[in-house]
Structure 1
């Protein structure tokens, strides 16, 4: 173990000691906006974004994204459905519409809730021009002021918060130091906690936040081992994040009148379980992405000035866990979702 890794482990331990972490159609008869059934509101990043990120910025609007569902690019960072689609399925809801489409879709679509997530964003400002978590919540709060949604809606609705690592990618990209990483993780969890409290103050009675997935197993991290093994240092960072998040959520529930307001969806365990036993979900390729650039300078969906493809796509996305360098395939999400179902996902959401 080199000196940097030793210093990192010592700092992680010190900080831990100091800190003490496909939608289904709804049942017939729901034809008006403010129905007593639950609605789903999504905040976060590309793991749950279903189209908010502009076409000018996102590869998610380019071929070959969406080849599995809906068989064309539609703004999802996958070949098909993403996590928010599966959460909606559990609730028996159609996937909430992206915020940017709110004024052009029929009003009855609003009864399912709304998706404010934006690819590439974090709890802090990242390199994208998209709204961070606080700005997304502010956009939602504006709809409350406009009476698009009412306090009665919120009391029966669910807020899902996705934090999947963009703050940490940005930290590394802007020369963030390894010794400073633990304190930065603490600041990310602190801001995430502030966002959860903000959602509660608006009126949500049920708020679910995703634990961080094993970043060391993303193709971006496993490429250096030819997609053969996960990066344990990155996963140690994730463990620190999730431990702090768990502590924070536990404290929030203890301070809340309803001790079950806040819940963590354990994506780390879901990812790890599938990646440790991919064959149980008919996954044959667990770490290598299905879609990747022909060289390191290109990403999935890249084309050159002559519109010539600079990426390759595997033959069977349904047998591959990862779609691109950061995101699961629809099959990957389905596998994670299946594992979460075994851990009483329905009870977590209700």
Structure 2
């Protein structure tokens, strides 16, 4: 199995500014009055091992090869955006809520994100409302133990910790993608978007009613640029960068609705701080200006089967018989046709930390000051 060269020129060129920004944020975060606590809700873009822990699903090397040197259940060759954001606060990487073997007491929060999750239908593992129910159980149990003489209580998150925590939400991509995969027309997919937005709004309001005040909401990326979609959809309606126009148009409409919802909630929930992050703009820039980031084939997967233009075959996917992986993931945006390489994730995280894509412009460590 080919392994990535961490000493490649392009990798170091791209990661150097990321390292500088992480160091800056580590210095700032060092002055936090309270230890950072983060609760994350989402799908495969931020799942740090929940699918493997929850369903026993097998995710094997080369997943995880470039940083962890083993598979950790992340659908990337290394770290995800959320991992880099945690590192910017000098806190441990978030452990999956369902993983009982990581030895964590979840002092810095928990990750409820699971691969494949969507907002609808409800009450289907692991829809957003199921993740919320898991969080409510987690909080109830933690506070129950904290009120006893249990020796573990000093290691648990306190009521203050829950109130000052950051609540991250990164979901919605699968609602749109799954609707298209079921053969729904563009107009029918668009009609479903308000229901998806409503579920996310409801989740934020529940967390607010539970005492949460600080929220970090990621919009969805350009679905039409994913090698998986490009290889499976028989459409000639591409934009100027070779992405599926209808898929990206639906993603942008979803993002507009999500942005509007965040604006509404800032007025409705008087004490809430809600930051909306334009992940779409960041990721599309990687595609449109791939040469600036030393990416060779922005629409081709590093790990897959079939070769150019997309290297994706639904019957021979990354990690499953017959696949091939590129020598250097640092030269690719897409890792497996759906998810990003560690290098691409590092650039996304760097731009998130820059505050240029956040509304209102807010440093990521804003929540940890107490």
TM-score, normalised to structure 2, is: 0.77
Deviation of the 1:72 alpha carbon? 1.3
Where 2:330 maps in the other structure, the secondary structure is: helix
1:21-55, CA deviations, whole angstroms, 9 ceiling, x for partnerless residues? x999989xx9xxxx932211111111101111027
How many Å apart are 1:284 and its aligned residue? 2.3
Matched, 1:251 2:267: no
- Contact preservation (8 Å) 2:176, 2:250: no
Pick 1 or 2: higher relative contact order, CA cutoff 8 A, min separation 6.
2
Question: 1:76 aligned to 74, 77, 92, which one?
Answer: 74
For structure 2, which runs of at least 5 residues remain unmatched after alignment?
A: 1-18, 144-155, 307-312
Q: Which residue of structure 1 aligns with residue 137 of structure 2?
A: 142
Aligned equivalent of 2:190, options 173, 182, 187? 182
TM-superposition CA deviations, 1:132-186 (whole Å, max 9, x none): 1111111111121112533201222101111151112222333434332121011
Conservation of the 8 A alpha-carbon contact between 2:180 and 2:189: no
- Report what 2:251 is aligned to: 238
Aligned residues: 312
Cα distance in 2, alignment partners of residues 201 and 154 from structure 1: 12
1:315 pairs with 2:327: yes
Partner SS, residue 53 of structure 1: helix
Residues 47 and 250 (structure 1), Cα distance of their counterparts in 2 relative to 1, 3 Å cut: same
**Per-residue Cα deviation, 1:64-102 (whole angstroms, up to 9, x for no partner):** 111112111110000000121022123331111111225
Q: 2:289 aligns with which of 274, 277, 280?
A: 277
Unaligned runs of 5+ in 1: 1-21, 304-309
Q: Which residues of 2 match residues 155-194 of structure 1 at below 5 A? A: 155-194=163-202
2:109 matched to which residue of 1?
A: 113
TM-score by length of 1: 0.81
Structure-2 separation of matches of 1:106 and 1:336: 27
**Residues 274 and 175 of structure 1: CA distance in aligned 2, closer, same or farther (over 3 Å):** closer
Q: Distance in 2 between matches of 1:46 and 1:169?
A: 13
Structure-2 change in CA distance of 1:193 and 1:349 (3 Å)? farther
Offset of residue 318 of structure 1: 1.1
Q: CA RMSD in A?
A: 2.8
Q: Relative to structure 1, is the Cα distance of residues 94 and 106 closer, same or farther in structure 2, using a 3 angstrom cutoff?
A: closer
Q: Secondary structure at the match of 2:138?
A: helix
Call closer, same or farther: CA 1:66–1:212 in 2, change over 3 Å.
Answer: same
Indicate how the Cα distance of structure 1 residues 319 and 332 shifts in structure 2: closer, same or farther if over 3 A, else same: same
Equivalence for 2:4:
none
State the alpha-carbon separation in 2 of the partners of residues 133 and 94 from structure 1. Answer: 24
Q: Counterpart of 1:161 in 2: which secondary structure?
A: strand
Q: Give the secondary structure class of the aligned counterpart of 1:100.
A: coil
CA gap 1:170/1:296 in 2 versus in 1, 3 angstroms: closer
- Deviation (angstroms), 1:349: 4.9
Pick the aligned partner of 2:213 from 205, 209, 224: 205
Matched, 1:290 2:302: yes
